Structure formats: C-alpha cells, structure tokens
Amino acid sequence: MFDTLLELFVFDVQNSLQRFAPELTLCVTVVAMLLVRLFNLDRHVPSYWVALGGTLISFFFAFTDFNMLKMESFDLAQQTIFTGLLVFDGFTIFFRLFLLLFLILVIALTVLSGIPDNEDGADFYVLLLGSTIGMMLMSSANHMLILFLGIEMASVPGYVMVGFLKGRKKSSEAAFKYVVYGAGAAGVMLYGISLLTGLLGTADMVEIASRMNAVFAGSESVGMGDATARTVILALVMILAGFAFKLSIVPFHFWCPDAFEGAAAEIGGFLSVASKAAAFALLARFCVAFSTGQADNLKEFYMYVGIGIGAIAALSATFGNLAAYAQTNVKRLLAYSTIAHAGYMLMAISALVVVLNEPAGDLFARLDADGDGVLTRQIAEQRYQYDVPELYRSDIAIIFDQLGKNSITQAEFVEQAKDPAVVHTLHRGLGAQALEGLLYYLAVYMFMNLGAFAIVALIRNHIFSEELEDYKGLVHQTPALCICMLICMFSLVGLPPLGGFVGKFMIFATLFEAGAVHWSMWAILLIGGVNTVFSLVYYIRVLKVMFLAERPADARPALIPFRSAPSMYCVMVTVPVLALGIFVEQLSYTARQVASILF
C-alpha cells in the first residue's frame, strides 16, 4: 500500500519536474547568482549575464513546450502536476512564454539603463527572477493554496524592488506603503479563502464547481436571504479584493501611484505588466473554475458577481483615466494609466463570467427569434453562429444530438442543459472569445506599456527627472525615443492601426456580444468607449509637451542619437506594437486556441 503510494508519488514528481522545467531553471539561476556573489565571481561575470542566460534557457524550455503545443494543434489535454497543486496546459505554456519573454526584455532594459549597479546586480536579479517564478506559479495554480502562495511569492520580491533605490526617501516610503498595503490585502484574501474552503471542504479549484452545486442543491434560487449565500458572497468579495490589489483595481489601487512614483521606472514597467498578466491568468482560471457546469440557480447568482466585476472594471477605468489628468509626474501618470488599463482588461473577465453563466432559458429565448417556444436545429445553428467564433460553430448541435430531434421546446432545452457537459459546451464559444480578447490585449500591453516605461527610464538617465515639465521639446534631442513614445501612447489610447486598437476592439466586441446576455454589458461597453476618449487627453498632453514645446535653453540635454542602443531598444519594443495592429491573425489565432483550452 505504502509502496504503491510511494511509487505513484515518485512517478508524479518525475513527471511534474519535467513539466516544471522553466521554473526550475529560474530557481537554479537564482541559486547560481547567489553562488556567484558568494565567491566574488561577480567582478568577472556581471550578474545580468547569469540572469539573462538562465532566463534564456528557461525561455527555451517554455518555447519547446509551446512548439509542442502548436504542433499538436493546441490539442493538449490539461494535466495536473504535483498531485494536483498545479495544472499544466496550453494556458500555462502561453503565460510562461509571455512572462519569460517579458523578463528578457526587462533584463535587457536594466542592462541598458544600468539601474542596478554591478554591486547590487545579483540582489536585484534574484528578486526579479524570484518574482517571475511566483507569477509563473500564479498562471498555473490549480489550488487555493498555490493561488495564495503564488501571489505572495510574486509580491514580496516586488516590495523589495520598489524600495531598491536605497538612498531615496521616496523609494523607501513607497516600498513601505506597498508592503503594508500588500500585507493587508493578503490578509483579507486569506480570510476569504479560508471562508470558502471551509464552506466547501476543499481548496482544489476543479472541485469548486461541483461542491458549490452540492451546497446549493436544494434551493430554488440563490439569494441574499440565504446565510450560506451571504458567506459565499463575502468570501468571493474578499478573494476578489486580493486580486484587485494585484491588479490595482479601484478601490484597491491606492498603493499603485505611490509605489510607481517611488520605484524606478524599470520596476514600474515590470510590475505593471508582469504581475498584472499573472493575476489576470489566475483570475481567469478562478472564474472559469467557478462558472463551469453550474446549475441554473447558481448561474444567476454568478452572473450578478460578473456584473459586479464589470461595474468595478468600469469604475476603475474611469477613475484611472480621470485621475491621470492632474498628474505632473510621468511615472505617476502612467501608474494611473495602468489602473485604467486594468479596468479595460477586467471588463473582459466580467464579460467572461457573464457569458459563462447565461441561464439556459435565456439562451433559448435568444436563439428562438420568432418566440414561438420551439427551436429548429437549422435556426439554432444559424443564430448561434453569429455569436461564437468558428471554432465552436457546431457546439449547439450537442443539444439536438443528445435529444435525437431536430426541433426542441424550451422546457426540453433547459432540461438538456442541466447536464454539466452540455452546459459547458454551450457557453464555451463566447467565453473563449472573451479570453481571446484579454490575451491579445495583454500581449500588446506588454510591449506598449513596457515601451512607455522604458522610454521614461532611458530619458531619466539623461535629464535626471521624470517630471512632465522637464520633457519639453525632447523631440529635437531624442527623436527616436519620442516617436516610439508617440506610437506607444497612441496605442495605449487605442488608435488604429496600432495593437492597442485591436486589443481594445476585441474586448469591446466581446462586451457587445455579452450585451445580448445581459444589458449591463452594453452599459459597461459605453463607459469603456467614453473612457477611451477621456484617456486621449492626458496621453496627448504628454506628447504635446514632448513634440510641440520648445526645449528650454537651460534644460539638461538628452542627446540620444538614433543609432544607439537605447534608441534601438525602444524601436525594437515599439515595432511589435505596430505589427500587432496590422498582422492580427497570427496572434489572435494562437490566443483563441489557448483560450479554448480552459473550457
């Protein structure tokens, strides 16, 4: 008995370690850097080489996995590793690749801007890599415990990095605020997790859906009158508050402007993209875990949660954009901009939750255009096709196939849809579409936001300031950087033909589709659209200062020629922003396939 268990365990560990290769590589790199430091080798081998080398090897592993995924045309089944704590699937692979690519870009940026000097290099890169390991854990979490551990593992090095500019008071203050705020948020989240797991008796996310069904099996509909439901709501709000902290969503965003202003711009860029991407990956997994295969009584309940998320998203976008107006510090302005962008991306999550929890009766009514209560197969397939991507065009057929008839009444439809497999299939089309938009947005966001922060960092190295006022007329001195800034900012606004437009368009398109499920999505779409206009103003203000103002004679010069490594770096980061705005199909196809893996 024990032998069998041991054998199973050994096998599982072996298999898991193999799947865990990128993270392991990063761990080894961390150890290697510490050793290098210990033996004073860092005088000969700059630590960034070690970090970069380790990251590249790790990237290579992730890339191999990705290629395997592509070769098997994204058909890889989900498999759990480490006895179900982590999940290894296409989604994991995608985010690993994403995070590692981003890590490489950030390391390259730090080498260029020289923010950790050689003395501190090892410390800095240990933190950077450690944080990334945490994020990668987040993206593959399958268990509440890992969820929490991942978030903390990503956050703690982040606290230190924010305070990395040791000599500066502002930096230390920011780090301190970030630590305390983070601790508070973690406490709340942990509380929520304990409530939920206590209630359900499991922390495994796969189990959640069925346990929830079991808990609410008796009740006709789930409402606030029910004490269990209140507990669940409170737990969910608390867990989501934890997420909101990581995502800097209003009203849990307070740390963000202060931390970003205090930290170096490189750190700001890293935190704003990587930790958000990882948190979104985790949130998506979390939401899908809750929303898969639910009975109708819970669906309505979750739908309201989804709308609540949407409301917060809209609030966040609006708040971020409006608050950015009054900023005079570029980093702070970008901090508010990241709050707003988190809001846009959260809208995709909101749409995801809403479309996944559409009650079967509503879906029937939506498809049955003439309202006579009977739906023929032909009409159903036709109307269903308008909503979902072609990957899932035939999903509606499952209802008719199971019934063996070519027309169906509402009662039969609802009855059929009670089967978890069926309900899962029916909703995955729109869900995948929502996630596709999110993934695309994240990919573009990686480049455009990193581009903006990188430019701020590189300019800071010359003029020793991040105040907007000191950016006057920079275009005459560093044309390449300014033009890259222009492209990044226009992309952040969402102007075609840049990548930001495509990402935003995809999310808004999903919201539009989701509006058919619940009207409030249309309201959120409207707020999102208006926000785009709001955001234009403050981005343009930065560009106006950079391009139209005269450079004061006494200003510090920032002469960065076009043919220099900083300019080249910025161009390299900016070109994908343009390319993703023009060549959409390649990435969107991958994103769609990866998104579909979750369902």
Partner 1 sequence: MSSETLTIEEFQEIGKALRFLLMVAWLLPLAGFAVEIFAGYWGHRRSKMASFLAVGCIFIGFACSLGALIHWGTLTRWGHKTVAESQHHEGKSEGEGQTGILDAGKLPVEFVALADKPTAHKDADNDDHHTTSGGGHKDAHHEGEHHDDHHGPGTPAFSGGFYLLGSFGDIEIGLDYYIDSLTLIMFTMVTLIATCIHIFAIGYMSDELVEDYVDHHAHTSDGKHVHRPGRFYRFFAFMSLFCFSMLGLVLAGNIFQVFVFWELVGICSYLLIGFYTERKSASTAANKAFIMNRVGDFGFLIGLMVIVTYLGTFRFADHEVNGAAQPGLFTMIRGADGHIDLDQTVDVETGNDVNVVLLKGVDGETLTNANGKNRTIPYWLLIVAGLGVFGGCVGKSAQFPLQTWLPDAMEGPTPVSALVHSATMVAAGVYLAGRFFPMFTTEVLLTIAYIGCITLFVAATIAVVATDIKRVLAYSTISQLGYMMLAIGIGGWGAGLFHLVTHAFFKSLMFLASGSVIIGCHHEQEMPRMGGLWRKMPITAFTMLVGVIAISGLAIPGISIFGEKIAFSGYHSKDEIVATALAFMQMNEQHFLLFLVPLITAGITAFYMFRLWFYTFAGEPRDAELHSHVHETPWVMTTPLIILAVFAAGCAIGGTHGPLWLGLLNSEPIGLATGLTGQLSGIATPSHDAVHAVHSTAGMYALIVAATGAFVAYLLYGAGVIDPGDIKQQFVSLHTFLVEKWRFDELYDAMFVRPVHIVASWCVGVDRYVFDGLIHRTARTTIDVSRWDRKFDEGIIDGLVNLVGNAVFSAGRSLRVVQTGSLRQYIMFIAVGVLVLFVLLFAVFPS
The answer to the question of residue 251 lying near partner 1 (CB under 8 A) is yes
CB 293 within 8 A of CB 423: yes
Residue 367: other Cβ atoms inside 10 A: 20
One residue of 9, 11, 254, 583 binding partner 1 per CB under 8 A: 254
Segment 187-206, which members bind partner 1 (CB under 8 A)? Answer: 188
Q: Is 184 in the site for partner 1 (CB under 8 A)?
A: yes
Q: Check residue 324 for interaction with partner 1 (CB under 8 A).
A: yes
- Minimum distance from residue 243 beta carbon to partner 1 (Å): 12
Say how many residues touch partner 1, by CB under 8 A: 37
Q: With helix as H, strand as E and coil as C, how does 13-80 read?
A: HHHHHHHCHHHHHHHHHHHHHHHHHHCCHHHCCCHHHHHHHHHHHHHHHHHHHHHHHHHCCCCCCCEE
Does position 514 bind partner 1 by CB under 8 A?
no
As a dihedral over the C-alpha atoms of residue 259, residue 261, residue 266, residue 270, rounded to 10 degrees, the angle is 40
Interaction between residue 167 and partner 1 (CB under 8 A): no
Segment contacting partner 1 (CB under 8 A): 5-13, 203-211, 252-260, 288-296?
252-260
The residue within the footprint of partner 1, chosen from 96, 177, 276, 428 (CB under 8 A), is 177
Q: Does 181 bind partner 1 (CB under 8 A)?
A: yes
Q: Which stretch binds partner 1 (CB under 8 A): 85-93, 211-219, 244-252, 435-443?
A: 244-252
302's tokens? 């979750």
Minimum CB distance to partner 1, residue 197 (Å): 18
| Spatial distance between the Cα atoms of 112 and 228, rounded to a whole number of angstroms | 55
DSSP 109-132: HHHHHT-S-HHHHHHHHHHHHHHH
Q: Is 543:457 a contact under the CB 8 Å cutoff?
A: no
Single out the residue of 255, 440, 453, 539 in contact with partner 1 (rule: CB under 8 A): 255
CA-CA distance, 222 to 376, in Å (whole number)?
Answer: 32
86-125 positions binding partner 1, by CB under 8 A? none
Among 41, 145, 322, 540, binds partner 1 (CB under 8 A): 322
Residue from the set 154, 175, 185, 196 that interacts with partner 1 by CB under 8 A: 185
**Positions 209 through 238 that interact with partner 1 (CB under 8 A):** 221, 223-225, 230, 233-234, 237-238
- ∠ CA 148-307-257, nearest 5°, is 55
Provide φ and ψ at 375, rounded to 5°: -115, 125
Type of residue found at 591: A
Structure tokens belonging to residue 366: 């939506």
Least Å distance between CB 475 and partner 1?
A: 25
Binding residues (CB under 8 A) for partner 1: these are 176-177, 180-181, 184-185, 188, 221, 223-225, 230, 233-234, 237-238, 241, 245, 251-252, 254-255, 257-258, 300, 304-305, 308, 312, 319, 321-326, 534
